[in-house]
Chain A
Amino acid sequence: MLTTKGKAPIVSRQMLVFFAILLSYPLWADAAGLYEYLGIEIVIFIIYALGFNLLLGYTGLPSFGHGAYFGVGAYGYGLAQLYLDAGFIPGLLLAMLAGTVASGLVALFLSHRRGIYFALMTIAFGQVFWFLAIKLRGLTGGEDGLLNIFRPDIDFGLFQISLKSNFAFYYAVALIAVLVTLLLWRLVHSPFGMAIQAVRMNETRARFVGYQVWWIKWTVFTLSGAIAGLAGGLLNVAQESAFPDTMSLHASGLIVMMVLIGGGFVSFWGPVVGVIVYYLARDLLGSITEAWLLWYGLLFMAVMMFSPEGFAGGWGKLVAWVRRRKQGEVLMGGAQND
């Protein structure tokens, strides 16, 4: 179970490990047979997945249409460059704003829903955005997507940094990932973080205790939409275009899969693990077989059947088992409580 106590360090031990890997990646990527651009996409999806898990893992609200806000961010950034010539940081802020507005509007319709109705409604709204992205050809470029949005330079007044090199852009993305991680870590350990977990555990009881459940659900949905928008904007910078595919049901399902396969329900770090597993599986399996999605799907089914808490859950069980072994009290099977 994903539970946080009120007190938590500003920077935890796992976080330091994560930051160390994150910031040193370009130094050892080549040696490990990886490449810088892969790191960029992974880190962008880590931002997206961490924001998504605020909704899924912490608040227990499954959204199957989150690709919409991710995509809205990507288009928002692209349009800001094309029509406003906005530059990198204002463009990202506009992408975030676009994600916020889109998810905030949808959340108005969703926040009093529960369970299956909530899930089905997120699908419906996600499809509306996907459909609009394809049909509003004048604005979005239709099925071809919004193309030729070249990476800008960041202007600091005294000096400029060009994002054309993957190296510079990787560090820009990594820096944003660090900020988002710190922010979300603080958030889930704040009183608001306690409240959203109360909503997950028992919505009715949370309401009786006096929490404004509707407002909490709206805020979490909008917040995760804003982060999805930010990540979408970054993806646009990375790919220099925005595509309607990022908004499809398929893409929205994949982010849920990534978060859960890593163990989003049991750990803050689940989404990070899940995104890395997905991309490594894509590159490693993809280099062996065309049908890598078949094997990834089977892997995913096996995880859901045998260890539905994902990699983080499996790791947690392993740690607990080792600890018990050390204390010399090996419990005979089935005594674990999950």
Chain B
Amino acid sequence: MSAIQPVLNESLGMEFVTNLLPHLINGLALGLLFALIALGFTLIVSVMEVINLAHGSLFALGAYLAMVIIDPSLQNAGPIGLWYLGLPHLLRYAIALIVAPALVAVVGFGLELCLRRTYGKKKEYGLLLTFGAALVLEEAIRLTWGPVEQFLSVPKEISGAFIANGLIYSTYRIYAAAFGIFAIVLVWLFLAKTPYGAIIKAGAHDSEMVRALGINLPRLQLLVFGLGAALAAIAGIILTPIWGLRPHVGVDAVIPAFLIIVLGGIGSFWGAVLGGLLVGMGVAITGAYASAWSLLSMYLLLILVLTFRARGLFGKKTALEA
């Protein structure tokens, strides 16, 4: 970074801020995508009262599926395969961004159908079922795609870097941040402005009452789990070009998601967004000064917040504590 030190900044303070700017953009991108993972996670926790430990595996699965959809090995698959490979990279990427989360949502449906047997029993059973599912998914990924690191190829339109004001910015991270905002707004519109969103929120508040009002609760739960899984998959597709794609990459995603949920308050939409931004910024800024310790900042942040606010920033007392 020092090699391209801006000469134009006279004041030390100004220089400090602008040098930090790329890190802040990284933090923003990271935070928004963490928030996206956490949103799916908190939806599932609120409606089904299950901590989905397989969330990270769904994140990884989404990324792997996208990788295959972008660059399938279709050379021998005849004219249709060749036609598909002839499509522009950007178009195939866009297809992957829609199809892979949809496929992961189907896996989520399957997982929810398995989980259904544990409803009404001890909470730990559901949680552990998802832990088993995480093991299974991770092993399945390792068997299918091998243990070595792979790369999700990103179209050239959104990759590369540019120099502005003497500092290097990664185009992809700006795209990632913009996409994060777009996806979060979409989820918010869905939850706040559509009738189905209202039902989901009601289900999170009191699922028995929702059922008593004649809503098909099992179908609602299925949908919410699928939605949560799809959000994890989308975050996976956007984040793994930055992180690299390994079978256990899910753990790197699920841990911040846990922390964000607790930090923001379980069941709170804006808590998850704010928590995500705090964690993303914290990781990026400590990364700028002491990169080896950057991940520790989020744990310390959590412990700090919880010492003063027992239920996180926006948390309310819920049935989940009983």
Which A residues fall within an 8 A CB radius of B?
56, 62, 109, 112-117, 119-121, 123-125, 127-128, 131-132, 135, 248-250, 253, 256-257, 260, 265, 290-291, 293-294, 296-298, 300-301, 304-306, 308
A294 to chain B: which residues have CB within 8 Å?
135-136, 139-140, 143
Taking the closest CB of chain B, its distance from the CB of A110, in whole angstroms, is 10
- For A249, give the chain B residue with the smallest CB separation: B251
Contact of B261 with A120 in the complex, beta carbons under 8 Å: yes
Binds A, one of B161-169, B213-221, B301-309: B301-309
Contact of A253 with B131 in the complex, beta carbons under 8 Å: yes
Residue from the list B131, B293, B307, B320 in contact with A116, Cβ < 8 A: B320
Taking the closest CB of chain B, its distance from the CB of A224, in whole angstroms, is 16
**The 3 residue pairs across chains A and B that have the minimum distance between CB atoms:** A297-B135, A294-B139, A297-B136
A115 to chain B: which residues have CB within 8 Å?
123, 320-322
Our count of residue pairs bridging A and B at CB distance below 8 angstroms stands at 120
- For A202, give the chain B residue with the smallest CB separation: B322
In the complex, per-residue mask of B118-129: 1 if CB is within 8 Å of any chain A CB, else 0? 100111111111
Q: With the chains together, A123 CA to B127 CA distance in Å?
A: 13
Interface set, chain B 245-299, CB cutoff 8 A to A:
251, 255, 258-259, 261-262, 266, 292-293, 295-296, 299
Chain A CB within 8 A of B60 CB = no
Chain A CB within 8 A of B201 CB = no
Contact of B132 with A293 in the complex, beta carbons under 8 Å: no
Taking the closest CB of chain B, its distance from the CB of A46, in whole angstroms, is 20
Tell me the dominant secondary structure on chain B's binding face. Answer: helix
Residue from the list B118, B299, B321 in contact with A308, Cβ < 8 A: B118
8 contacting pairs across A/B (C-beta < 8 A)? A62-B127, A124-B259, A128-B303, A131-B295, A253-B134, A291-B142, A300-B131, A305-B118
- For A292, give the chain B residue with the smallest CB separation: B139
Which B residues fall within an 8 A CB radius of A?
45, 49, 51, 53, 114, 117-118, 121-129, 131-136, 138-140, 142-143, 251, 255, 258-259, 261-262, 266, 292-293, 295-296, 299, 302-303, 306-307, 310-311, 320-322
Taking the closest CB of chain A, its distance from the CB of B113, in whole angstroms, is 10
Contact of A301 with B122 in the complex, beta carbons under 8 Å: no
A256 to chain B: which residues have CB within 8 Å?
124, 128, 131
Taking the closest CB of chain A, its distance from the CB of B249, in whole angstroms, is 13
B303 to chain A: which residues have CB within 8 Å?
109, 124, 128
Residue from the list A120, A124, A298 in contact with B299, Cβ < 8 A: A124
Contact of B299 with A297 in the complex, beta carbons under 8 Å: no
Contact of B125 with A304 in the complex, beta carbons under 8 Å: yes
Q: With the chains together, A306 CA to B118 CA distance in Å?
A: 9
- For B115, give the chain A residue with the smallest CB separation: A305
Contact of B143 with A109 in the complex, beta carbons under 8 Å: no
Contact of A62 with B124 in the complex, beta carbons under 8 Å: yes
